[in-house]
Every structure is written in C-alpha cells, then in structure tokens.
Structure 1
Amino acid sequence: HDYAVELADGRIVGVNTVIRSCTLNFLNHPFNIDLMPVEMGSLDVIIGMDWLSRYHVVIVCADKIVRIPWGRENLIFHSNGSNQEHDARLNIISCAKTQKYMLKGCQVFLAHVTRKEVEGKSEKKRLENVPIVWDFPEVFPEDLSGLPPTQQVVFQIDLIPDAAPVARAPYRLAPSEMKELSEQLKELSNKGFIR
C-alpha cells in the first residue's frame, strides 16, 4: 500500500511502510500503535488521530497537556516537563521546527492532530493549572494571610537627611472609585500589608 501523508507545512510525502502492533510505553503503561516511518529528524513519534481516538485521549491546548484515560486514573502529559504523579514530559514543536528536522534527514512518524471542542464543559481557571505554578505551589497560596516571613537579607531605602516629601496634589476620584479604593486599603491594612 502506498500512502500519501500530508505534512503540517502542506507538503505531501509518499509512505509505503506501516509498522504494525508496536508498543508505545508511557509511564510504564503499554499502548498498541501502528507506525508509518517518515524521514524527518530526532523526534521519536508523532501520534495521529486514529490512535488518539482509540484511547479517548483529551488534548487541552490552553494548558498544553494531554490526558489519556487508563482504568480509573488519567495519565497526564505536560509540555513544560513537570513530573507530577502519573505525568510525563511531552514535547510540542512548531511546523517550522518540524520542517528543520526533516531537512536534517531525521526520521519521523507522522499524524494529524486537531483540537476537539466540548460543548457545555468549561473548566474553571485554577491557579494550579498554570504551568509555572506546578513547580512552586508554596509560593502561590490561596489567600494571603499576612506579610511574608522575615528574610535573611534586609532591604531598605536610605533617604537623604532632612529630605521633605514631594508636594503633589491629592488624587481626585469619583465616589465609586473612592469607595473601592478605601475597601482595598482596609483589606490590605487588616492583613498587615500596610499600616
């Protein structure tokens, strides 16, 4: 069988080999997959829609994650390299980078991936879904309860002796803006951020 495979940059490549019943191992979980070798680069595998559909894979483009149901759990692949429990690293590359790999003569297994829109299901934006926050959860608490702990380095701004404050006209705010500002200042004062 000869297959005409359309690449992400629009070129069509002829493929006449299918390697059937391969095993794809994600976090020690085996998955069956058929592969089509395409000369491209150092990429190992590009997974196609047929495989993604067979395993009910969910691609969350906004968070750059891929979820694969496995029994009662979900295997989650993050593009940023974080390694939480049952998570693995997923490299996402652009069409231009794919083309560079192909020009270098790298071998690629090609597939076409599209995003599936799910109606009526909107995930609430949560702080722990932000990729950089995964690595530093202690830095981003749900509620700021007070001033940060005392640091070893003391920071201060030394003022010029006998310097007077800069004379400026007070801000003029609409009553609603003034009310909002006073509420914010009161909240910050209650938490100890300002005195």
Structure 2
Amino acid sequence: MDQVPAGEPVLAGTFTVNGHPAVVLFDSGATHTFLSKSYALKHGIKMYKLKEDYHITAPGSPVATGLMARQLKVDIGPESFVINHVVLPHQGIDVILGMNWMVENDAILHVGSREVQLKSKVTGKILKVHIPEQKHLEATVNTSELQEIRKIPVVCDFPDVFPEELPGLPPDRDVEFKIDLIPGTAPRFKEAVRNGTDELKELKTQLQEQLDKGFIPHHLGAVPALFVEKKDQGGKRLCVDYRPLNAVTIKNKYPLPHIDIPFDQLAEPKCRYYQIKIGEEDIPKTAFSTVYGLYEYLVMSFGLTNAPAFFMYMMNSVFMNELDKFVVVFIDDILVYSKNEEEHGDHLRTVLTRPREHQLYAKFSKCAFG
C-alpha cells in the first residue's frame, strides 16, 4: 500500500508539466509521484487503466485509484524529467513528486533555503533549483499549513480550498457586484493621503501585489487610499476611503441575519471579498489615488457599503441546499453542525465541496475543526 503521509519535509512551487503551469509539491513523505485527476482532465492528459488498483494511505481515509498518466514532461529549472504518475481523484495539489523520483534523481530538499538539489541527467553535475515563494499564477498551499491540513480527516482531501494566496482574478460568475448610485449624484474626488516613509514602502508593496494578481489596473481620478491595522495577524491592510462613494450609493436591502450565535467560537472559513468581480460598468466608481498613481478595482474590495450584503447573498446561494439542515452562514463565517462524528464527516465533505465547485477559497488559519 503506497502512502502520502504527513510530517515529512515538503516544498511547493509552480513548474510546467507538458507545457502547462502546475503546482508541484516535492514531498519526501510520499512513496510515489501523483497527479491530480482534475489537472489531467483540464489539460487533456491521457490516463491509462491499470490492471490492479493502487491503494493509497492518505491522512483521513485510504484512497483507491486504477489510473496512471504516463511519460509526462516535468520541467524543473534547466532540466526536464519524463515521469509516470499515479492519478489521484481528490488531490488538491496538481503534482506530487515523491521518494521514488527523489531517489532516482538524487534529490534533496533544503526547506530553509527553498532549494531542491538534483543530479543532472545530462552532465551528471549537482544542480540546485531555487523554488520562489508563490505570489500568483496558481493557488498555492502554504506548506506549513499543508502539514496541519493533512492531519485533519476529510479536510485533508481539500488542500486546494485553503491556498496561501488567491490565484488571481476570480472566474466569471452568474452574479457580479453592482454599485448603483442615487440618480443625479456622483462621488466627490479627494486628494491622495500623505504617507510616512514606512507606509510608502508598504503601499508600494501591496499595490504591486494587487497589480500582479490583476485586481487593480491604472485609472484616472479617484478617492484616497489609506492603511488600517489587521486585527488577526498584525501588519497593515490597504483600504480605500469609499465614504464619498458610499454616501451616494443606493443601499442593498438584502437582509443580514441577527448575530444571535457567538460566531467567535465557531469554525471560521474566511472567504475574502476579492473573489467576486465588479460589473464592468461600475469599475470606474471604485477608483482611488495614491502617490504612485491612480487605480481602480476589478474585484469587490473592502469598504464598499453593499459588500457584506452581496457576499451574504452569494454565500447563501452557494450553500442553498445545506442551509438550516447542517449549515449556518453569516457573511463569511460558516458553522457546520451534526448529531454525531460520522455524520459530521459527511456534512463537512459536502460543505468543502461547494467552494471547490465555485472556485472559492478559505483561510485555513481562520478555521477551527473539532
């Protein structure tokens, strides 16, 4: 029985598999190399039926698979490797390179320096390939959080729901965020806020991150941007002063429930507003100014008056079939309740399947499972 155990050194990075970007996990705790079935289907990779099923021991529950993907070209630094992969049905990471590949290629993981040491098949020399921190392109999983996710039954099957970073612009959805103005009104322009030296450095960094993800293109004319302290993790969050816009926005009357439940004690998968696109005609209304330029949001951002109500509406739509049966939702907080542990496992799997289906993501550090 092959294993994908927890607790061993791992590194994750974006490489190409058959010419397509893929999140590749180097895992010294995995006995073999594995490929996500969803990745294979997405990129037209042919899968072959094995004579006998592989039985994989993964955290939570064993998985059986009878599929293999053969002769896939994986590019790692200057080297290319042709590898056969066992196909896993519920794997969140695109590719796992396990001990069979590492032994064959004399691979050693240096977690501290984020390097993979390899022996070149061409020259026989030792190579060191640096794996940069993932900022965009794909939804990557924080490897320290991945270790924790792997320890939790059911949750271990959904690492793709808990990425370290959002993968970029959200997909087109059935609904987009709208900003309807009171007839005959328009938001007033305000000058950019003056920032100190440290704030200017932080501002430039956060603007670049959001530009890289495609959340904000440049624009002409805006309201000011400022920083607020993050309550949960320290540091500062870039916020836009949308008070002039909110003052002339027609309020969304979608009802928010009364907070009669102590949500600070519940499981809290924190979905972020950046996962919803803004309607194209409303994008210019989100414009904001900084000393580095003028920008506008393509995604629903913090500070917009109707954002909580709209997010609540979307979450209720996503969990429509589960609401009041075993799920309670308040904006971006989700409570899953069950009569017993076995039933709870089934309920939790259903709930985690919904964000995977809708390409929504949660923050693992904000969740509590037990």
**TM superposition score category, shorter chain reference:** 0.3 to 0.5
Higher RCO (CA < 8 A, seq sep 6+): 1
TM-score, structure 1 length as denominator?
A: 0.40
Largest Rg, 1 or 2: 1
Normalization by structure 2: what TM-score? 0.23
